[in-house]
Structure 1
Amino acid sequence: MAADAVQASLNGRFTYHADKGESWRIMRDQGPVTGDCEDYSLTLIWLYEGRSMLRFWWALITFRYVLWFCLSPSGDGHAVVWCRGRGWTDNIQRRLVSRGDLKAMGYRLRIPYLVPLVALKFLLRPLLRRI
């Protein structure tokens, strides 16, 4: 499936819902899904990589995709994903755009979430759900 079709499929099923704290997850359901900006970005990468966790992690390790913490146009903390050779996307734009377009829309990139931090967020998720 082409990248645009993959994202369009997720867009048609996704509803934004803020979580409490940091509960990063991949939304694996086939039907409607709810989540926040990190959930959207992680799910999109997983879908781009054919629903394979091995390919998902390899794509992050090899910097095919990089999650970034940024400030959204409204000034809130937000996550976007950079897709090597294709551009930037998030749950607000729901399409690939250039870095220049992202900045022109008011996004302010801050720091990348590199693989160790992403892995830590996944590992801590079960513990954070119990609190």
Structure 2
Amino acid sequence: MAADAVQASLNGRFTYRADKGESWRIMGGDGPVAGDCEDYSLTLVWLYEGRSMWRFWWALVTFKYVLWHCLSPGGAGHAVVWCRGRGWTDNIQRQLVSRGDLKAKGYRLRFPYLFPLVALKFLLRPLLQRI
């Protein structure tokens, strides 16, 4: 499935829902899904990589995709994902855009969530949910 079709499929099923604390997860299944900006980004990478956990992690390790912390146009903390050679996307844009387009819309990139931090947040999710 082409990248645009993968994202369109997720967009059609996705509903934004804020989580409590840091609950980074992949939203599985083929039905409706709900989550926040990190969940959207992680799920999109997982879908782009054919729903393979091995390919998902390898793509993050090799910087094929990089999650970034930014400030959204409204000034709130937010996550976007950079897709090497294709552009930037998030649960607000719901399409790939250039870095210039992202900045023109009011996003302010802060820092990348590199692989070790993503892995830590992802793997500690069960513990963080109990707090």
Question: Partner residue of 2:91?
Answer: 91
Structure 1 length-normalised TM: 0.99
Q: Distance in 2 between matches of 1:112 and 1:33?
A: 25
- Cα distance between partner residues in 2 of 1:58 and 1:34: 25
Find the counterpart in structure 2 of residue 67 from structure 1. Answer: 67
The code of the aligned residue for 1:97 comes to V
**What CA distance in whole angstroms lies between the structure 1 residues aligned with 2:87 and 2:128?**
32
**Could you report, residue by residue, the CA deviation over 1:64-102 in whole angstroms, capped at 9, with x for unpaired residues?**
000000000000000000000000000000000000000
Identity of aligned residues (%): 87
Q: In the aligned structure 2, how far is the partner of 1:124 from the partner of 1:54?
A: 18
Q: Could you state the TM-score of these two structures normalised by the residue count of structure 2?
A: 0.99
- Match of 1:3? 3
Write out the 4+ residue segments of structure 1 that deviate beyond 4 Å after TM superposition: none
Root-mean-square deviation over aligned CA pairs? 0.5
> How many positions carry a matched residue from both structures?
131
Number of the residue aligned with 2:23: 23
Aligned to 1:35: 35
Shift of 1:129: 1.8
| Structure 2 portions without partners, runs of 5+ | none
CA drift of 1:130 comes to: 2.0
Structure 1 unaligned residues grouped into runs of 5+: none
Q: Which amino acid aligns with 1:95?
A: Q
| C-alpha distance in structure 2 between counterparts of 1:108 and 1:123, whole Å | 27
